[in-house]
């Protein structure tokens, strides 16, 4: 699609694209068309992945079934979308063993079969709130570990460090090793 330029997904909270589970996400698919362009469809797809956590899609333009669903004039185009994140979405998380990611993808389908579909992506951060007053968080300590060590905090001064870890967060000895 040589005629389509400056394509992007813009979220209404571009300054801080962090959302809570259960929250509505609003945005625009935006692009410029230089010469008249036949379009079969414009779709937005939102995914949360490790395994499929969440999958939402909507057609913003055309149906994809008609040979010429829409003819876009040479100008700037913006197409709004809104979706609501599920209430129990886990938070975005990445480390060497686990990845939980969320993304928004826009697909622009040309009517000319010789041209490739144009895809553009935006990552989304989800933070799942925790109610610390739930009984499962008020339960007695399941795991407790404690260690004491003398370590050098400043030159020629020794200080005693006492670390206690509850609820299986990690061993106190491990946390102490991070400080050394």
* Domains of the chain as residue ranges with CATH: 4-127 (2.60.40.640), 135-179 (no CATH)
Element (DSSP H or E) covering residue 119: strand 118-127
Cα separation, 78 vs 84, in Å, equals 20
Which residue, among 24, 4, 17, has the nearest Cα to 112 in the 3D structure? Answer: 4
pLDDT digits (tens, 9 = 90+) for 11-66: 998 788 788 988 999 999 998 888 877 778 888 888 887 766 667 787 777 654 44
Mean pLDDT of 110-132: 79
Give pLDDT, residue 114. 56
Tokens of 179: 């400080």
Cα separation, 29 vs 118, in Å, equals 12
pTM: 0.59
**Per-residue confidence at 67, pLDDT binned at 50, 70, 90?**
very low
């Amino acid at each position: 699609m040589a005629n389509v330029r400056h394509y992007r997904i813009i979220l209404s909270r571009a300054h801080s694209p962090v959302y809570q589970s259960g929250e509505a996400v609003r945005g625009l698919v935006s692009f410029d068309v230089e010469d008249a362009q036949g379009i079969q469809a414009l779709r937005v797809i939102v995914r949360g992945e490790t395994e499929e956590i969440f999958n939402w899609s909507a057609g913003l333009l055309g149906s994809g079934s008609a040979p010429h669903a829409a003819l876009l004039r040479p100008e700037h185009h913006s197409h709004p979308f809104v979706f609501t994140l599920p209430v129990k979405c886990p938070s975005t998380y990445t480390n060497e063993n686990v990845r939980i990611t969320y993304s928004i993808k826009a697909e622009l389908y040309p009517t000319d079969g010789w041209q490739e579909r144009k895809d553009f992506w935006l990552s989304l951060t989800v933070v799942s709130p925790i109610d610390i007053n739930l009984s499962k968080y008020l339960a007695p300590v399941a795991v407790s570990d404690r260690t004491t060590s003398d370590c050098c905090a400043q030159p020629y001064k020794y200080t005693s460090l006492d670390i206690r870890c509850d609820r299986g967060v990690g061993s106190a000895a491990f946390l102490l090793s991070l400080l050394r």
